[in-house]
Amino acid sequence: MRFENRPLSQIRVGDSESLNRLVTTDDLYVFATASGNHNPMHLTQDDADHDGRPDAVAPGMFVASLISAVLGMKLPGPGTLYRAQILNFHERAHAGDELITTVTVSAVAPDGQVTLATEVRRKGDDALIVDGEARVIAPTEKHVWEGIEVPGLVVQRHRHFEALVARARPLPPLVTAVVAPEEEKSLGGAIKAAEESIITPILIGDPAKIAAAAAAIGADLDGFEIIALPDHGAAARRACELVNEGRAGAVMKGHLHTDDLLRPMLDKATGLRIGRRFTHVFVMDVPGQDHPILVTDAAINITPDLATKVDIVQNAIDLALSIGIDVPRVGVLSAVETVNPAIASSVDAALLSKMAERGQITGGLVDGPLAMDNAVDIGAARTKGLTSEVAGRANILVVPGLDAGNMLAKQLAYISHAEGAGLVLGARVPVILNSRSDSAMARLASCAVAALQHARLAGASAPTAAAAE
């Protein structure tokens, strides 16, 4: 990047410069972190002041900082030192507004001080947001700076999960059999989802342990149905019965092993099988990505064969459609982007791609084999000469096996600060599968994803709270 200043000898009364800036929600989070001002009106989409529009009001000093940007970058430019600034605030700016900041020289003093009229207006309606006056000391020598790089920032904010919860909130609460919610996080996740009207939980487990967990988090269990079954196997079987009786539209894992939860569901007579293999999908909210990324299968199928991968892909496409992804783009991953008979995953990927072309997999676009880089980065895809609708734009990543999927999901979580909502598909109802380390937001998002999946497949006929009584 090149910066060039305007020294005092070249500044004249009437000189003017402007900068345009689109205010984003991330800008407000960055400013809150840097300034320490965490006023909720600057950070939320609620209408706390009841003015008919969401908050996310740009702080006054953030808007004022745009004046500093023009002074420091354009007029007078690098080397400028502030002496004084007068600010008059007229209107509020919000995230999504494009602001035009202008400074105009009104006086030049022999001692090097320059006075400038300053203003910030909103593009579109030309509303005056801030005006005032700045006094600065202008640089006396001409300077040009080359190659100045400012590091980019990725805001660790899970906007995709927030959008999923908002999308699920208008649906009828999904009656959910929660198996063994006998510790704080598993019970707290179910209660949080109930408070958000995403689910209506039926708690199945040891009443004493459930009560102790509730006491630990300060939760009130009044109004929640509790089915006393201390044995985890029996609790999981009862969850299946509730589904088969039409009393529950989802099952949620509590504090028990995944195998103990899923084993009764696989029973051919009394379980929840519907013909497809059970497969697991992580819906990952990765900071900096403009869409959720689905990773599958990272929790159930260890070394899936081709037939199992067909179900893995189809289940993931169905879920992507349920959560609002209009065009699911499936990147089937391997170590390379060309078919190598010595790498079984590359052969399976090519076969899955061809099966989608022939209508054996429906609802989305499938391409493979793709390496991780050219599946998610358009530049990497173009470098390799890949021009498909999926390469570089995949929103579903199908891994070769469980070990690769587990590594990928955990790398996204612990290195890229992603959150993952976990769901098992292929059963009669969505199965919410959280890990013990999942945050409250991840658990809430998992419930939202389950509600959206159930609503799409059942035509919004999820059992209501009344039906569960």
pLDDT digits (tens, 9 = 90+) for 10-29: 999 999 999 999 998 888 88
* Domain positions in the chain: 3-145, 278-426
Whole-angstrom distance, CA of residue 175 vs CA of residue 114: 68
- The stretch 213-226 carries a mean pLDDT of 94
Q: What is the pLDDT of residue 143?
A: 84
Give the mean pLDDT of the chain. 91
Residue 156: predicted pLDDT: 67
What is the per-residue DSSP string for 391-419? TT--SEEE-SSHHHHHHHHHHHHHTS--E
In tens, the pLDDT along 60-103 reads 999 999 999 999 999 999 999 999 999 999 999 998 899 999 99
Residue 287 has pLDDT above 50, yes or no: yes
Q: Which residues pair with 252 in a beta bridge?
A: 178, 432
Contact 187, 213 (CB under 8 A): yes
| 458-464 contacts at long range (C-beta below 8 A, 24 or more positions apart) | 458/249, 460/171, 460/172, 462/171, 462/172, 462/173, 462/174, 462/175, 462/249, 463/174, 463/175, 463/246, 463/247, 463/248, 463/249, 464/172, 464/173, 464/175, 464/200
Distance of alpha carbon 377 from alpha carbon 239, whole angstroms? 42
Rounded Cα distance between 264 and 425, Å, is 15
Q: Are 371 and 336 in contact (CB under 8 A)?
A: yes
Q: What tokens appear for 319 in the block?
A: 């879920």
Answer whether 156's CB lies under 8 Å from 414's CB: no
pLDDT at 468: 38
One of 3.40.1390.10, 3.30.70.360, 3.40.718.10, 3.40.50.11740 is the CATH number of 278-426, namely 3.40.718.10
Residue 164 has a pLDDT of 94
Contacts of 125 (CB under 8 A, 6+ apart): none
Instruction: Report the phi/psi class of residue 454: left, alpha or beta, with left for phi > 0 and alpha for psi in -120 to 50.
Output: alpha
Distance in Å from the first CA to the final CA of the chain:
65
Helix (H) or strand (E) holding 244: helix 232-244
% the chain with pLDDT above 70: 94
Mean of pLDDT values over 438-464: 81
Q: Does residue 132 carry a pLDDT above 50?
A: yes
How far apart CA 374 and CA 391 sit, in angstroms, is 6
- Spell out the alpha helix ranges (H) of 330-387: 344-357, 372-376, 378-383
pLDDT surpassing 50 at residue 399: yes
**Reduced to 3 states, what is the DSSP secondary structure of residue 118?**
strand
What are the pLDDT digits (tens) for 171-202? 999 999 999 999 999 999 999 999 999 999 99
Domain 3-145 classification at class level: alpha beta
Q: In what order do the strands lie in the sheet with 128-137?
A: 16-22, 98-108, 113-122, 128-137, 81-89
Residue of 323, 301, 265 whose CA lies nearest to 401? 301
| Tokens (6 digits) for 101 | 């900041």
Burial class of residue 14 (count of CB atoms within 10 Å of its CB; 0-12, 13-18, 19+): exposed
- With H, G, I as helix, E, B as strand and everything else as coil, classify residue 87: strand
Give CA separation, 38 vs 41, 43, 44, 57, 117, in Å.
9, 7, 10, 12, 30
